[in-house]
Amino acid sequence: MTNSELLQQVRVIDPVSGTDQIADVLIANGTIEAVEENISKLPSKTSVRDCRGLVLGPGLVDLYSHSGEPGFEERETLPSLIQAARSGGFTRVAILPNTTPPLDNPAGLARLQRLAGDITDKLSVPPPLYFWGAITLGVQGQQMTELAELADSGIVGFTDGQPLQNLALVRRLLEYLKTLSKPIALWPEYRELAGNGVMREGINSIRLGLPGNPSISETAALAALLEVVEAVGTPVHIMRVSTGRSVQLIWEAKVRGLPITASTTWMHLLLDTEAISSYNTSLRLSPPLGSPADRAALKRGVQQGIIDAIAIDHTPYSYEEKTVAFGEAPPGAIGLELALPLLWQNLVETGEWSALELWRVLSTQPAVCLKQIPAAIAPGQPAEVILFDPQLTWKVQKQNLKSLSYNTPWLGQDLIGRVIVGVRG
């Protein structure tokens, strides 16, 4: 096995330096040794890979996704989650705490960290799993966890991954967490306003005969949350932004100098309520898909930096759980293996976004939101990189997915673009 590899004439996309260029890249012992127009002088026993037509970019970073393990291993185990992440180009994945039991105490967190460590030690290029610590006991939104103890347990940050309904509790949490210097992610939604809605309220929900969830369930909660953030001053990451009005509220808050970042999910950029006419239960999401105007506003918001990052929110469910009526299906879809090729084909190949813009919000900016150092493609940097073939065609089938679940509206379809190898120094 060689210790060094030359990637010849690969398209290098590096948001940290803002470069998109064709170059030779030499990697040795897990470190990027050189990035030059042409590298002719090589160490002995260097393997050479012709990378014409391929893209080399920093590993992708996922802000929040779900693990089936512990509690629902039939949906996803930690090994299958890691393999799905690797297959999709993700070198860092942050896991939400609503496992069974939830990650609301240091002992439970330590058990899962040990299990993840045992698995990743057996892999040659494992993406590290990071774990969010729960803000409230049982992620029930009622009583604070031992926040200081969790902060010392190696968590990436704090979130329940569920909307908090008690604003007085939110205020106390932000006051307490201000001194702990960990990322805090909150999902604004008022469940009473959402009611039993299973898709975004509007002309399409009426046409399809499905209960509607009004956009104010999100925007009213977001407006209230922003008031609390402004009063307390604790930085907050706003999860799962799904409406155009929310984009406007976030922009206005950033103009006022509020310490916030925000993310939307990849599916909310690609699909809207018009897609739900198929009644495919993999389109049952929470928050629900927005209107076409919402989707357009979200895309603009990401391009303009109002929305800082794209999250995957990988949510696996078994075939049996999703094979029910649309309104009865649990919300969520898988995405770790699908996000990059679909976003690339629908946004980059169409010329709507540049490759740098997409990579920035899938890699660099999510790392910044997690208060991590982004990976970069430069001499002396760890080789936390992936190779992506934007023209490779493959079919989304159970046997072609590393995830144990296959709840996706793209099941059975041909996709163009796939990660072919990942490296982490």
Banded pLDDT at 91 (limits 50, 70, 90): very high
Say if 11 falls within a structural domain: no
Domain that holds residue 236: 60-375
Say if 259 falls within a structural domain: yes
Summarised one tens digit per residue, pLDDT across range 204-256 is 999 999 999 999 999 999 999 999 999 999 999 999 999 999 999 999 999 99
Average pLDDT, the chain: 95
Rounded Cα distance, 326 and 284, in Å: 7
Q: Which of 270, 316, 331, 326 is nearest to 295 (CA)?
A: 270
Is the confidence at residue 1, as pLDDT, over 50? no
The pLDDT value recorded for residue 323 is 97
What CATH number is given to the structural domain containing 277? 3.20.20.140
Is the confidence at residue 425, as pLDDT, over 70? no
The pLDDT value recorded for residue 2 is 53
Active-site position among 118, 313, 389, 414: 313
Say if 424 falls within a structural domain: no
Q: What percent of the chain has pLDDT over 70?
A: 97
Say if 85 falls within a structural domain: yes
Rounded Cα distance, 192 and 308, in Å: 28
The pLDDT value recorded for residue 120 is 72
The pLDDT value recorded for residue 218 is 98
The amino acid that residue 336 corresponds to is L
Query: How many domains does the chain fold into?
Result: 1
- Stretch 380-403: mean pLDDT: 97
- Stretch 89-101: mean pLDDT: 96
Say if 170 falls within a structural domain: yes
Say if 327 falls within a structural domain: yes
Say if 113 falls within a structural domain: yes
Summarised one tens digit per residue, pLDDT across range 308-352 is 999 999 999 999 999 999 999 999 999 999 999 999 999 999 999
Residues 230, 258 contacting (CB under 8 angstroms) = yes
Pick from 69-78, 397-406, 413-422: least confident: 413-422
The pLDDT value recorded for residue 195 is 97
Is the confidence at residue 375, as pLDDT, over 90? yes
Q: What percent of the chain has pLDDT over 90?
A: 92
Render 361-393 in DSSP notation, one character per residue: IIIIHHHHHTT-PPP--STTSB--EEEEEEEEE
Say if 332 falls within a structural domain: yes
Residue with tokens 């604070």: 144
Query: Catalytic residue at 62?
Result: no
